Amino acid sequence: MLKQFLPNEHFKSVLEISPEQLKARGIKGIITDLDNTLVEWDRPSATPQLVQWFEEIKKHDILVTIVSNNNEQRVKAFADPLKIPFIFRARKPMSRAFNQASRQMGIKKEETVVIGDQLLTDVLGGNRSGFQTILVVPVAQTDGLATKFNRFVERRIMNWFRKKGMLQWED
């Protein structure tokens, strides 16, 4: 049961995820969370480094869709300037939005990776839906109320993975 929460890979930041490595593994699309994965939950737009990362991803013909549990206004304000398609109020970890994003990109599940900062939404949802998953360290140390509860549960799961030698992680 707990293996549903285990990501295929983990990185400190999305900026460490190389488009060359993704392409070498046959990845043609990225489904990414927004808040605390790409930028802090209260930052309205992408940082210059993140804009450059997206440009590199696009240069390698890798498609991107943002899938967020946040509201339309928040996600649209971030995604539109970058010309990145998005799905808001995704209700992660439910599968619908992950599958919808893959269909919209026109790629198979095995050609898609889900990137996020939460085990209980991004990793669980991606794994349950049949996608590869990458966990990143949250960009900010602060969270909204619902996410604070998730982080409490996640710490317990992460500690179990650490003790079993299944995951090396830095807070």
* pLDDT tens, position by position, 104-124: 999 999 999 999 999 999 999
Fold observed for domain 2-163:
Rossmann fold (3.40.50)
The pLDDT value recorded for residue 170 is 59
The answer, yes or no, to whether residue 145 has pLDDT greater than 70, is: no
Query: Residue 65 forms beta bridges with which residues?
Result: 31
User: What whole-number distance in Å separates Cα of residue 77 and Cα of residue 88?
Assistant: 11
pLDDT at 142: 67
pLDDT the model gives residue 96: 97
pLDDT of residue 153: 86
